[in-house]
Structure 1
Amino acid sequence: MPRRVSLPGASELFRATSGGVEVGPEKPREAAIPRQEPKPAVRPRTQNQAESQKKPAPTAAERRAASGRVRHDEKITVYVSRDELIALEQARLMMRADFGLGVDRGRIVRESIALAMAQLETLGAEAPLVQRLREA
């Protein structure tokens, strides 16, 4: 009796992350369901002046609000120390245990960036980010 292990194929292990159709091992290509991308929230250009005066323009802090659980098209790589990674993971676990917030590390980082950018805009040189970077 051969002891050969059967492994799944590449199409079963990987899925497309860009637009198109999702094809799984149980679905033939003809029966694949096209993925629907979320529609961006864009204000139509045909608004009259009275409508645009009703809604105030978003502040820079609102434009930079952390994105939460949405698809992100851009990526950066950030290297952190072991202690920083442990602190981030402990914060994630604390948010789940103490506050009932099931968030991932990326969301914590995005929220922290949004907070730091808002403080930088409103406080300028007095922002905690500027102070910490001056001390480093």
Structure 2
Amino acid sequence: MARRVSLPAADDLFRPTDTQPRPEADAAPAPDAVAPGAPRRPSGRVRHDEKVTVYLTADELLDLENARLTLRRAHELAVDRGRLVREAVALVLEDLEARGDDSALVRRLSQQ
């Protein structure tokens, strides 16, 4: 006797995880939006609803892990790789907003 397996419906698989309503495009900016000229602050240890996938070489991943371990060993800062990347992105974007063409990001990308 064959038994049918009950699988979740598409609505169950692709449901939003955030219970808070999202602001519409023409609504006021989100509370965590950054005002121009204001210092950028990374999100830290909160639930993140958005995701980005970044592919790294083995050497880049090793460098990232070494930086994480250095922060832990030399500075007693226990951070995961995600937080380390978010902090680095915040620093780079703050530098770009503050310095524009003279930012480290523009200089490095211009060399490639």
Q: TM-score if structure 1 supplies the norm length?
A: 0.56
Contact 1:88–1:105 (CA under 8 A) maintained in structure 2? yes
Q: Match for residue 70 of structure 1?
A: 46
Q: Distance in 2 between matches of 1:104 and 1:61?
A: 26
Matches within 5 A, 1:52-71: 59-62=36-39, 64-71=40-47
After TM superposition, give the deviation of residue 66 of structure 1 in Å: 0.6
After TM superposition, give the deviation of residue 98 of structure 1 in Å: 0.3
Q: Distance in 2 between matches of 1:123 and 1:19?
A: 35
TM-superposition CA deviations, 1:52-99 (whole Å, max 9, x none) = xxxxx955443x411110010100100010000000000000000000
**Aligned residue-pair number:** 84
1:101 to 77, 92, 99: 77
Q: Distance in 1 between matches of 2:59 and 2:38?
A: 30
| Greater relative contact order structure (CA < 8 Å, 6+ sep) | 2
SS at match of 2:55: coil
Q: Which entry has the higher C-alpha Rg, 1 or 2?
A: 1
Structure 1 stretches of 4+ with a deviation exceeding 6 A read none
Q: Match for residue 92 of structure 2?
A: 116
Matches within 5 A, 1:1-136: 18=17, 59-62=36-39, 64-136=40-112
Q: Distance in 2 between matches of 1:65 and 1:80?
A: 24
The alignment-based identity, stated in percent, is 50
After TM superposition, give the deviation of residue 126 of structure 1 in Å: 0.3
Q: Distance in 1 between matches of 2:18 and 2:60?
A: 35
Structure 1: give runs of 5+ residues left out of the alignment: 1-17, 21-40, 43-56
Q: Distance in 1 between matches of 2:101 and 2:56?
A: 25
Q: CA RMSD in A?
A: 2.2
Structure 2: give runs of 5+ residues left out of the alignment: 1-16, 20-29
